[in-house]
Amino acid sequence: MTETTRAVFVISVAAELAGMHPQTLRIYERKGLLDPFRTPGGTRRYSQEDIEQLQLIQELTSQGLNLEGVKRVLSLQEDNRRLKKKLDRLRDKLEEIEEASEKRLKDLERSFRHEIVLRSQVRPMYGQGK
């Protein structure tokens, strides 16, 4: 757990940090825009990431997006993060495969080096024939 993901703020502090009323945070949670951590007793706890998401929501709504539009933007951002992680994993895997292939090719070239005869080496042995 990183500093930004650790849920430490109660709703009143989170609301103040985000510049909102606590009821707004509850509404955003009901609408599915936010999913704060819940203690075993059911108390909401917000992380720094949650505060940043609240600030983004506020920015998007101030630019004219309704809450459904904000929800769509947040969903697309999450999809984008997930796809970037997958792309990074695939790039790493491809790099591993390329390195292994290059090594295997070098090993094969080394193992067949004594068996490979160049055309220029054959001509002197048999003359310049056809």
Summarize pLDDT for 78-107 with one digit per residue, the tens: 999 999 999 999 999 999 999 999 999 998
> Per-residue pLDDT for 129 more than 60?
no
> Per-residue pLDDT for 119 more than 80?
no
User: Top-level CATH class of 1-64?
Assistant: mainly alpha
pTM of the model: 0.68
| Mean pLDDT value across residues 105-110 | 88
Looking at every residue in the chain, the average pLDDT score rounds to: 90
Q: Angle formed by the axes of helices 22-30 and 11-18, to 10°?
A: 100
pLDDT in tens, 31-66: 999 999 999 999 999 999 999 999 999 999 999 999
On the 0-12 / 13-18 / 19+ scale of CB atoms within 10 A, 22 is middle
